[in-house]
């Protein structure tokens, strides 16, 4: 007897199915469900969501759509997901070409995911995602430029600058953010965009400082405020979410985000070193406070509020969430600086402040139906020692080894302490964070 797979003598082999016939061989409804779940994850990852949040949102959507099993591998710019239903399995890969931090979109997606009910169809979810994706950015470019300007100007005050430094840094950071947004539209290399924006901000800062000095209004601590002009380039979202991913032992996403953040800091630090070398600015200089207590704490409180609010606007955070983050960040930052003034080490003070921010985000995030990261990142970003990181990079390049080591270790340990504080707050308030990582 001939093999079943071989055609009988004198008979023609069966023709291959046409593309249309082949399509009907697939379980179309299952494919549609998989595609909808993957699209939700891709939109959330592209808006700056952490891998844990993306994975949790995809699992919620899969459950609502009737998918039995979902296994995901979430990186910084890619997702690999395998869905299962009965005997059917399907694997999809999504690559996010460009991550643009959008806290407003993260909030919409979080609220959408939380509202999904059992029995939701793929078509219904796709329509909801169409609505979210079609929504324009919450704030116009002019307001985002103003947010960057105010955030960095507030940093100048927190770094013990005066009103001259406040004005010069604000103008410089606004100019840098404007250049950054314009160049980003050209889809050019991101690190080149960061370098060009940093150079613009630094040169404008030195020009404005020189103009103030020429009209008889010199600032007493211009060099100490140089790095404040480029703090809008600190990669806050990838730095914080990457640290949280590492805390969850999600090495794939965590290492990628931390490496990316390090490269952005290096691009900015190189610009700081170049401008400082050409114009003989001493960027490793630190300033002494210009005010005494209690006025110093009042200035820090106001500057912290303005700084966090500026960063929140830069990230397109909804107003109610932005104001809540500003209050949390300002209060925690004043306490952190008071602890440092009292003799506490910067990492200990940063960890305590991050715990306060994390607990506050847990308390108010549920009421605001906000993605937790939209509250914590702007609030702790003002505590990230970006100035110390830039001074460390400048010290390495210029050969000032002692300054490089001091500033470098300060920056690293403070960032680690912030991550520890946020992780502790999550372990205390979210059950899944106290369980072993999946």
Q: What is the pLDDT of residues 54-64, one digit of tens each?
A: 999 999 999 99
Among candidate residues 290, 311, 405, 428, the one with its CA nearest the CA of residue 359 = 428
| 39, 169: one domain | no
130 with 179, same domain: the answer is: no
**Distance in angstroms (rounded) separating the CA atoms of residues 117 and 319:** 28
> Could you write out the DSSP letters of every residue in 379-421?
HHHTTS-HHHHHHHHHHHHHT-HHHHHHHHHHHHHHHHHHHHH
Sign of CA dihedral 192, 194, 195, 201: positive
**Does residue 118 lie in a domain region?**
yes
Q: 219 with 164: CB under 8 angstroms?
A: yes
pLDDT of residue 281 exceeding 80, the answer is no
Among residues 134, 151, 186, the one where a domain terminates is: 134
**Contact call for residues 312 and 378 (beta carbons, < 8 A):** yes
Residue 285 φ/ψ, nearest 5 degrees: -75, 140
Question: For residue 224, what pLDDT is reported?
Answer: 63
For the chain, what is the domain count? 2
% of the chain residues with pLDDT over 90: 44
**In this structure, are 95 and 160 located in the same domain?**
no
Residue 157 shares a structural domain with residue 128:
no
Token pair 């992780």 is at which residue? 423
For residue 183, CA distances in Å to 77, 177, 186, 189, 194 come to 21, 10, 5, 9, 9
Q: Does residue 112 fall inside a structural domain?
A: yes
**Using alpha carbons only, how large is the chain's radius of gyration in Å?**
25
Per-residue model confidence as pLDDT tens digits over 381-430: 888 887 788 778 878 877 778 878 888 888 889 988 998 999 899 888 88
User: Are 284 and 181 within one domain?
Assistant: yes
Which pLDDT score, from 0 to 100, does residue 4 have?
41
What token pair was written down for 224?
């100490």
**What per-residue confidence (pLDDT) applies to 22?**
44
- Tell me how far apart the terminal alpha carbons of the chain are, to the nearest angstrom: 53
In a domain, 331, yes or no: yes
Contact 31, 90 (CB under 8 A): yes
pLDDT for 219 beyond 80: no
- Around Cβ 366, how many Cβ atoms within 10 Å? 11
Calculate the average pLDDT of the chain.
Answer: 85
Give, in order, the Cα–Cα distances in Å from 112 to each of 32, 88, 131, 237, 257: 18, 27, 11, 22, 26
At 283, is the pLDDT very low, low, confident or very high (cuts 50, 70, 90)?
Answer: low
Please indicate, yes or no, whether residues 101 and 152 belong to a single structural domain of this protein. Answer: no
| Whole-angstrom distance, CA of residue 226 vs CA of residue 428 | 39
Which positions ≥6 away from 295 have C-beta within 8 Å?
A: none
- pLDDT of res. 42: 94
The answer on 99 and 28 residing in a single domain is: yes
Q: Poorest-confidence range of 34-43, 96-105, 123-132, 164-173? A: 96-105
Asked if 129 and 145 sit in the same domain, the reply is no
| Whether residues 252 and 305 fall in one domain | yes
Distance from C-alpha of 423 to C-alpha of 50, rounded to nearest angstrom: 13
Q: Enter the tokens of residue 349.
A: 């003070």
Domain boundary among 104, 134, 164: 134
CB 426 within 8 A of CB 433: yes
- In-domain check, residue 1: no
**In this structure, what DSSP letter does residue 338 have?**
H
238-277: per-residue pLDDT in tens?
888 888 888 888 888 889 899 999 999 889 988 988 888 8
Q: Supply the DSSP string of 242-276, one letter for each residue.
A: HHHHHHTT-HHHHHHHHHHHHHHHHHHHHHHHHHH
> How far is Cα 15 from Cα 105, in angstroms, rounded to an integer?
49
E-only strand ranges, 46-139: 69-74, 78-85, 88-95
Choosing from 75, 101, 134, the residue where a domain stops is 134
For residue 228, the model assigns a pLDDT of: 86
Q: Which residues pair with 71 in a beta bridge?
A: 82
Residue count of the chain: 438
Q: Report pTM.
A: 0.84
Whether 240 and 205 share a structural domain: yes
> Is pLDDT at 112 greater than 90 in this prediction?
yes
Q: CA 347, CA 418: separation in Å to the nearest integer?
A: 8
> Running DSSP on this structure, what letter comes out for residue 119?
T
Residues 42 and 251: their CA atoms lie apart, in Å, by 19
What is the average pLDDT across 43-63?
A: 90
Q: Give a yes or no: residue 14 inside a domain.
A: no
Residue 367 in contact with residue 314, Cβ under 8 Å? no
> Using an 8 Å Cβ cutoff, are 173 and 197 in contact?
no
Q: Based on the domain organization, do 274 and 351 belong to the same domain? A: yes
387 occurs within a structural domain: yes
Q: Which residues pair with 376 in a beta bridge?
A: none
Verify that 70 and 179 share a domain, yes or no.
no
Tokens of 211: 């103009």
Has residue 235 been placed in a domain?
Answer: yes
Q: CA-to-CA distance for 102 and 133, rounded, in angstroms?
A: 11
Separation in Å, CA 320 to CA 48, 139, 369, 374: 20, 14, 11, 11
**What tens digit of pLDDT does each residue of 322-379 get?**
999 999 999 999 999 999 989 999 999 999 999 999 999 999 988 888 888 899 989 9
In-domain check, residue 17:
no
Domain containing 51: what range?
22-134
């Amino acid at each position: 007897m001939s093999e079943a797979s071989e055609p009988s003598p004198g008979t023609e082999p069966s023709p291959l199915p046409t593309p249309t016939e082949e399509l009907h061989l697939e379980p179309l409804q299952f494919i549609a469900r998989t595609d909808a779940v993957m699209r939700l994850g891709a939109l959330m990852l592209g808006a700056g969501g952490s891998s844990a949040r993306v994975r949790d949102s995809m699992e919620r959507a899969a459950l609502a759509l009737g998918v039995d099993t979902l296994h995901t591998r979430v990186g910084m710019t890619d997702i690999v997901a395998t869905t299962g239903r009965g005997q059917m399995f399907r694997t999809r890969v999504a690559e996010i070409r460009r991550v643009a931090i959008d806290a407003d979109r993260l909030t919409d997606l979080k609220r959408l995911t939380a509202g999904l009910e059992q029995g939701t169809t793929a078509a219904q979810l796709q329509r909801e995602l169409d609505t979210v994706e079609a929504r324009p950015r919450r704030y116009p470019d002019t307001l985002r430029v103003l947010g960057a300007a105010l955030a960095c100007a507030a940093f100048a005050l927190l770094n013990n600058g005066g009103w001259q430094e406040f004005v010069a840094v604000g103008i410089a950071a606004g100019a840098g953010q404007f250049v950054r947004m314009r160049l980003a539209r050209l889809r050019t290399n991101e690190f080149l965009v960061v370098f060009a924006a940093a150079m613009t901000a630094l040169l404008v800062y030195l020009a404005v400082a020189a103009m103030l000095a020429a009209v008889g209004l010199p600032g007493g601590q211009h060099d100490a405020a140089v790095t404040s002009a480029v703090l809008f380039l600190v990669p806050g979202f990838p730095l914080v979410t990457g640290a949280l991913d590492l805390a969850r032992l999600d090495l794939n996403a965590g290492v990628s985000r931390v490496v990316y953040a390090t490269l952005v800091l290096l691009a900015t630090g190189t610009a700081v070193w170049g401008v400082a070398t050409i114009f003989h600015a001493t960027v490793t200089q630190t300033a002494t406070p210009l005010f005494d207590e209690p006025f110093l704490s009042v200035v820090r409180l106001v500057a912290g509020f303005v700084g966090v609010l500026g960063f929140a606007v830069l990230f397109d955070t909804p107003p109610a969430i932005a104001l809540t983050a500003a209050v949390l960040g300002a209060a925690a930052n004043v306490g952190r600086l008071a602890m440092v003034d009292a003799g506490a080490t910067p990492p200990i003070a940063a960890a305590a402040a991050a715990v306060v921010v994390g607990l506050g985000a847990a308390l108010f995030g549920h009421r605001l139906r906000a993605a937790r990261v939209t509250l914590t990142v702007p609030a702790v970003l003002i505590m990230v020692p970006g100035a110390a990181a830039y001074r460390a990079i400048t010290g390495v390049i210029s050969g000032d080894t002692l300054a490089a080591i001091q500033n470098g270790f300060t920056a690293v340990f403070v960032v680690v302490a912030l991550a520890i504080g946020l992780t502790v707050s999550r372990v205390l308030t979210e059950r899944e964070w106290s369980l072993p990582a999946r």
